[in-house]
Structure 1
């Protein structure tokens, strides 16, 4: 039985040093060379953590990240900690709470999140009864200890009392302009949906202060594949707006993410304050071999400024049996980009490989359009501007991220994407790098009239 059946009647941090050609090619007044890890700042381990779904990575607290997520057995809550995101991969995992053998909370344990509120630690999670596993409700744990990894500190505060005693899950909290809010997914009586997303203000970390407001219900075609689902809300506040992501449809390859947006000064409890994007903003990708991306959270990289998208996805499409019991939803992270207008730019769930780079010239980005390689202002299609420098004999290949079987090929003055790439080297230069071919050190990539071509002098590309 699927979790929603009742309602239908649910490797280490990749670093690749910039290659320094021998001789005078380094340019006497070139900027200091940075490693790719310093440039990009987000781990490229795929996955970051195996078999951990519904992943949540906290903001850095006293120099430490905390991670939790659903385990395949759905029987306990685990925590990891590390001073770096990459360190979470091999960090010791501690079980801080295990479900009782009977009674309330003795069934499924889903989607835990850890939050620091008012000098205490809180974990929000979903659970069900041992004798009624579809009696799904949100619960809260509390610890007054400074160290949340100590299981002895955690006590059950209890179930969050909601407006309706019905299927409810995926509670998360955020604070904004001096108010604390709860977001969650629930099956509202008399609404034809498995779950919709709701918001309410909190009186304390486990008690609602206001009536709930329904923010989104599944109505669009991409929200009703397999099941009518809006769930897994997460919030990031940037650029004068509040952005709320949520996940939709069944938890197989149809699973995807949607977006709501509100002005940061609006009444967040008023449904009219929120605008729903008409299309999904993060979906499965056959080329990168990532399926069912969703139930995300957000954190910030160690540099204190790079936003990071945290999500789960499978690396295969076909699932045997109920997706709920397939254990291979893995935790993944990638950089979250931003449009010039201040709205988030998600791109595609990226595949295996090293650090991802965008190359720009005077504010315009190198991108591919089909097999053509050109430059253009920052496009809405982020993925076409993302590349990887991958090791090759004598140098590197420039690999497309969203079309990983294709590489930059240089043939005379023609620069295209092709299954056979041309080995190149990056040469440090003031403000960035130039890129020359390995076969002929006198041939460089250069930009002319919006097209990437070649010449005896190279264009300086900025890396970001």
Structure 2
């Protein structure tokens, strides 16, 4: 047997230590690899998508959501176009599709205002205002389309929708669906000689025919409803999560900076044709904000976000004081919330060019 010298013993120790060090270093690498997630820095939160108002130039916006798409329209004066999109915040990048242009010289050939589209009884309907030119000829008309895609089929002109007891002048028609019945609401005048714009309601026989005498729901009587003239117009229906009905309308002249929104509330399980079942809010619910460059905010519509988690209002306003009912009006959108009593809280018009989060789900 070979005798181990002191030098040999030292070399063995050094070799063994080196092997052990290498093994330990390898183990450390494996352990570090397995637990690397714990030592990584906190990941950056996802970037919040944002957009700025205005969405587009225009007035009297309307929007409806169906089967994952939004269909948008607004006043164009001589025709009706629809915009189809999955993201309202990107509306300005979408091309419009003309779906209707009246024949020249007809009773509905000029001043096409405030089109609104609904899906009723498995068909599409568009309600719009038009006349022969002079203001006193303005009436409300109906188009019908039985195709699933309202952009790709011809629309059938169903003529005027009117009640014989209130056919002097009518604009801004909209529909209330309530307890398996349809009701039509619009802005009209009590007779041809009176300029007051009131809001009326009648039950519908079908989407193009009224079947009951009219009832006047509201007349411009409060101080904030008569700037520039006594006006109640642009009725729009809003329901909360419990199904309670609100009718939001535009008040005062659109030619003033004080065009704004008022609201009527239908009592729980109330009858829409019973005027006493509606209560008018004594104060406006959405008003101008000069500091945010929002003058005359009004003639609105409502929509849900893509994932149905948020409620949004879309409306027109002017960026500058004194622009009135001109082509300078622009369309804006912002999220709104609900008060504890179930009423909507629209807040204040947001500043133009101020980034805000896009509707959730976009």
For residues 78-106 of structure 1, the C-alpha deviation after alignment (integer angstroms, 9 at most, x for no partner) is 11001121232211111111132113112
Query: What is the Cα deviation at residue 30 of structure 1?
Result: 8.3
Question: Which has more strand, going by share of residues?
Answer: 1
5 Å-filtered alignment, 1:254-293, equals 254-293=258-297
SS of structure 2 residue aligned to 1:115: strand
Of 26, 32, 36 in structure 1, the residue corresponding to residue 48 of structure 2 is 36
Aligned to 1:171: 173
- Pair 1:128 & 2:134 matched: no
Of 43, 60, 70 in structure 2, the residue corresponding to residue 65 of structure 1 is 70
Of 115, 120, 125 in structure 2, the residue corresponding to residue 117 of structure 1 is 120
Instruction: Please list every run of 5 or more consecutive structure 2 residues that lacks an aligned counterpart in the other structure.
Output: 1-37
Alignment TM-score, normalising by the size of structure 2:
0.82
Against the structure 1 CA distance between its residues 105 and 190, is the aligned structure 2 distance closer, same or farther, given a 3 Å change threshold? closer
- Pair 1:160 & 2:161 matched: yes
Of 139, 142, 145 in structure 2, the residue corresponding to residue 143 of structure 1 is 145
Against the structure 1 CA distance between its residues 168 and 44, is the aligned structure 2 distance closer, same or farther, given a 3 Å change threshold? same
Contact 1:76–1:98 under 8 Å retained in 2: yes
Of 104, 107, 111 in structure 1, the residue corresponding to residue 110 of structure 2 is 107
For residues 229-270 of structure 1, the C-alpha deviation after alignment (integer angstroms, 9 at most, x for no partner) is 000000111135211100011113121110101124111110
Contact 2:168–2:192 under 8 Å retained in 1: no
- Pair 1:88 & 2:69 matched: no
Contact 1:193–1:217 under 8 Å retained in 2: no
- Pair 1:241 & 2:244 matched: yes
Q: Which has the larger radius of gyration?
A: 2
Aligned equivalents of 1:115, 1:188: Cα separation in 2: 27
Contact 1:339–1:345 under 8 Å retained in 2: yes
Against the structure 1 CA distance between its residues 92 and 240, is the aligned structure 2 distance closer, same or farther, given a 3 Å change threshold? closer
Q: How many matched pairs? A: 317
SS of structure 1 residue aligned to 2:299: strand
Aligned equivalents of 1:78, 1:99: Cα separation in 2: 12
SS of structure 2 residue aligned to 1:134: helix
SS of structure 2 residue aligned to 1:297: strand
Query: What is the Cα deviation at residue 46 of structure 1?
Result: 1.1
Aligned to 2:59: 53
SS of structure 1 residue aligned to 2:290: coil
Query: What is the Cα deviation at residue 356 of structure 1?
Result: 6.1
Instruction: Please list every run of 5 or more consecutive structure 1 residues that lacks an aligned counterpart in the other structure.
Output: 1-25, 38-42, 358-464
5 Å-filtered alignment, 1:298-313, equals 298-313=302-317
Against the structure 1 CA distance between its residues 138 and 35, is the aligned structure 2 distance closer, same or farther, given a 3 Å change threshold? same
Contact 2:55–2:90 under 8 Å retained in 1: no
